[in-house]
Amino acid sequence: MAIKILKPGLSTTVQDLGRPGYYHLGIPLSGAMDRFALSCANLLVGNEEGAAALECTFMGPELEFTADATVAVTGAELPAKLNGTLQPGWTSFGVKKGDVLAFDFLKKGARAYVAVSGGVAVPLVLGSRSTYTLGALGGHQGRKLEAGDVLPVGEARGAKAGRAVAEDCRRGPSQQAELRAIPGLYWHRVTEPSGRHFFEDSWKVAPEADRIGYRFRGGRPLDFVPRTPPFGAGSDPSNIVDACYPYGSIQVPGGSEPIVLHRDAVSGGGYMMVGTVISADMDLIGQLQPHTATRFVEVDMPAALAARHDRENLLNKVRAALG
């Protein structure tokens, strides 16, 4: 069983739940930007939650199946059409040998996940099938898919068509995004009024938004507490001695445009960070389109952990219904 890529879409990559354990060598986690949607897609087609699937960004690919299989599309509202017939999202459906899956224009969100029963079976690299394009690592030849690529698919195990994730369990993007963040890291470098403005201001997702990080524009620039530059840090007030960057950390080079690092994060560098987006909201970032209005909402650790548990409980409901 295999999937033939007839058209690749804008940026379609093989992703699973990522490659932990190598960040100290600069190799990031990678994996689905929206991990919740990937898990749901896999559960729908009877796969392990962390099986590899296709992450399709902004524009869908065109795929041909070489054998019968079960498929599900979750995440962004990217309407799937099997041989021209519309298929519901967040719902498994059967495909026959020779069927072609294509997609209409994106209606909502940014990334759709296409899981196929058996999972995409590209080789494991450092324990994961995820694609890390910057390092030409993993996935299919370390790169986004191109027309003519053929992806092997694993052994299916008892997948059924017509299973759906309940409406109230689907996590999706809203018109106005709110990203909850814990201030910290180099928060003390910004003045008190600047810190306030950061959370008050409305930001917009900039066109420079990819798997490495999301850039935001439109809020007031940050003012820094004056200092004598520490040896090795560099002269700009936003410089630090190069350090490791947390996933979700919000760096503000020059104090002007915040960048939130995501699954393909650069692992470190010399820019101060004002805090970190909480783990429960990372999936949501992966569904933000450029120009989406966004606010950062200040939360503390107990609120972050509560949000993390809410997300896990929601996934548990899906597991219970589909498991």
Which span sits near other proteins by CB under 8 A: 31-39, 134-142, 149-157, 159-167? 134-142
Which residue from 90, 113, 247, 296 is in contact with other proteins, where contact means CB under 8 A?
247
Nearer to other proteins, 88 or 229 (CB): 229
Q: Report the alpha-carbon distance of residue 278 to residue 282 in Å, rounded.
A: 7
Q: Report the alpha-carbon distance of residue 197 to residue 179 in Å, rounded.
A: 15
Per rule CB under 8 A, is residue 314 in the interface with other proteins? Answer: no
Which span sits near other proteins by CB under 8 A: 60-68, 155-163, 213-221, 264-272? 264-272
SS (H, E, C) 258-285: CEEECCCCCCEEEECEEEEECHHHHHHH
E runs forming strands in 104-162: 108-116, 150-152
Q: Please answer whether residues 215 and 206 qualify as being in contact, where contact means their C-beta atoms are separated by less than 8 angstroms.
A: yes
Helix and strand tally (H, E) in the chain? 4, 20
Per rule CB under 8 A, is residue 124 in the interface with other proteins? Answer: no
Per rule CB under 8 A, is residue 80 in the interface with other proteins? Answer: no
Which residue from 12, 276, 287, 294 is in contact with other proteins, where contact means CB under 8 A?
276
* Least distance to other proteins, CB of residue 109, Å: 23
**Burial category of 206 from C-beta neighbours within 10 Å (exposed 0-12, middle 13-18, buried 19 and up):** middle
Which residue from 233, 252, 315, 322 is in contact with other proteins, where contact means CB under 8 A?
233
Residues 6+ apart with CB under 8 A from 68: 94, 95, 96, 97
What residues make contact with other proteins under the rule CB under 8 A? Answer: 20-21, 23-27, 125-126, 132, 134-138, 142, 181-182, 184-185, 187, 230-235, 239-244, 246-249, 266-270, 273, 275-279, 301, 304-305, 308, 312
